[in-house]
Structures are given as structure tokens and as C-alpha cells.
Amino acid sequence: MNLTAIETDPDFSAIMLLVCNAIQSGLDPTQSPDITQAIEDFLHPPEQAPTSTTTPTYTISATAGIGGSIDPEGNVNIKKGKDQSLIITKNISFPVILSYCPEPH
């Protein structure tokens, strides 16, 4: 058991504060149910329910002007880490202008 790790653990510091306050108040810390429970929770932490993690979603606003087309067109939602293909077709003599603004929501 690594004592340095225990001594620097915030939960252990909280227990020590409870013990010190009890002693300063003239109480026997070994008789305190709050301290006993804090020590029990420190030694055997209660299991925590897994937290739900949501993957950020990005919206691609795909639009084409009179000089061509894009497919799919409109707002396309993409989860972070996934790919999305867009087919860009331009009419002759029209430029293709792409803009990219990464902003998850």
C-alpha cells in the first residue's frame, strides 16, 4: 500500500479533517458513525453507475448554388470520428467553394 498516495488523496484528507474536528470538539473519533462510514467508503468505495457519454455531433450544411449540385444536400448530422461523403458536381466554368467551420453541438 502506497502511503504517499493515500496521504495525498482528497478523500483521505476529508477523513483526517473529520477526525481532527472530532478530537478538537472533545469527541472520540472511533465512536463517530460519520467517521466510520467515511473510512468504510474510503477503503471500499461504493460502486458508481456508469456515466453516459455522448459523442459530439457535427452538422454539415451542404448547399449548392446555380452552378452545380451537392448530394446529400441540406443539413447532415455526423458523429465525431465518423466520415461523410459528399458528391459535388459543378457546371462547366463555375468554381467550387468549400468552407469548413468545426463546431460541435
- What lies within 8 Å, CB to CB, of 8 at 6+ separation is none
Report if residue 55 sits inside a domain.
no
Please tell me the distance from the alpha carbon of residue 105 to that of residue 13, in angstroms, as a whole number.
Answer: 38
Neighbours of 39 (CB within 10 A): 18
Q: Is residue 86 part of a domain?
A: no
Cα–Cα distances (Å) from 47 to 9, 13, 103, in that order, read 18, 21, 35
What pLDDT is stored for residue 49 in this prediction?
74
User: Predicted confidence band at 35 (pLDDT cuts at 50, 70, 90)?
Assistant: confident
Q: Does residue 2 surpass a pLDDT of 60?
A: no
User: 56 lies in a domain?
Assistant: no
Range of the domain at 16: 3-43
Check: pTM over 0.85? Answer yes or no: no
Instruction: Give the number of domains in the chain.
Output: 1
Which residues share a beta bridge with 57? Answer: 79
Q: Does residue 22 form part of some domain?
A: yes
- Looking at per-residue pLDDT, the higher value among 43 and 3 belongs to 43
Residue type, position 35, single letter:
I
